[in-house]
């Protein structure tokens, strides 16, 4: 979708990104890197129809490769619609020559995360004036092993029904006022084995998938 917005506001977010100091090896750092402002130059220049028509005239065939005009541009990936359920999939592999190697280091993630610094200032389902888009952690998938074999386990939080989340899913409206994590008991699930665990145990896991539900 091409948006013809004022360049001064096109890259604005709900919360000031300049105040962020994302710690290395954290989910905040991952999100900050994924949504950073990029400059497209040289072979990455953007095809500009307006520039092409201005240069060649509207009657020319602008689809011709020789007549197309490419220009430098800025690009930024931001969230335009805050989801009821936020699923974060961590890339836990890297290229090592012609092979793939699993990334085993711990990535820090919070029990409550604010997406506002990563949302466009005109995020569609955030009330005007809100500068926070909060989510509470309720599930984690962890993988142990290598790229060739391993075992998946999960941490899940048993909690009361979130009626505010139901409103958001069914009607696209959020009346939630909570800013604290949803209360509940965490469990570790491995095949048929289920046992209660502390939240500190969950937050120290080597997350592969993270599941958050919207609070505000």
Q: What integer pLDDT is reported at residue 117 of this predicted model?
A: 94
Tokens of 177: 């006022």
Bridge partners, residue 195, by sequence: 188
Cα–Cα distance measured from residue 150 to residue 67, given in angstroms and rounded to the nearest whole number: 53
Q: What is the pLDDT of residue 181?
A: 80
Measured CA angle at 102 (ends 23, 153), to 5 deg: 85
pLDDT tens for the chain, 216 residues long, are 455 566 667 788 998 887 777 888 999 999 999 999 888 888 888 888 777 777 776 555 545 555 788 888 888 899 999 999 999 999 888 777 777 888 888 999 999 999 999 999 888 888 888 889 999 999 999 998 887 888 999 999 998 776 666 666 655 555 545 667 878 999 999 999 999 999 999 999 999 999 999 987
27-56+67-170+181-214 has CATH 3.90.70.10 classification: yes
Ranges of each domain in the chain: 27-56+67-170+181-214
């Amino acid at each position: 979708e091409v948006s013809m917005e004022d360049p001064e506001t096109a890259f604005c977010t709900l919360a000031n990104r300049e105040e962020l100091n994302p710690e290395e090896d954290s989910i905040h750092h991952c999100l900050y890197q994924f949504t950073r402002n990029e400059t497209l130059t040289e072979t990455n220049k953007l095809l500009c129809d307006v520039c092409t028509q201005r240069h060649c005239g509207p009657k020319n065939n602008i689809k011709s490769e020789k007549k197309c005009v490419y220009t430098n541009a800025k690009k930024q990936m931001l969230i335009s619609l805050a989801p009821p359920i936020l699923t974060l999939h961590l890339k836990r592999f890297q290229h090592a020559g012609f092979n793939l190697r699993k990334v085993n280091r711990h990535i820090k993630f919070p029990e409550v995360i604010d997406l506002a610094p990563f949302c466009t200032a005109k995020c569609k389902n955030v009330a005007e004036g809100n500068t926070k888009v909060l989510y509470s952690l309720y599930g984690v998938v962890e993988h142990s092993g290598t790229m060739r074999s391993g075992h998946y386990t999960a941490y899940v939080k048993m909690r009361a029904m979130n009626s505010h989340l139901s409103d958001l899913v069914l009607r696209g409206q959020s009346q939630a006022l909570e800013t604290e994590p949803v209360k509940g008991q965490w469990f570790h699930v491995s095949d048929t084995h289920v046992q209660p665990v502390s939240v500190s145990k969950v937050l120290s896991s080597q997350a592969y998938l993270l599941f958050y539900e919207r609070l505000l």
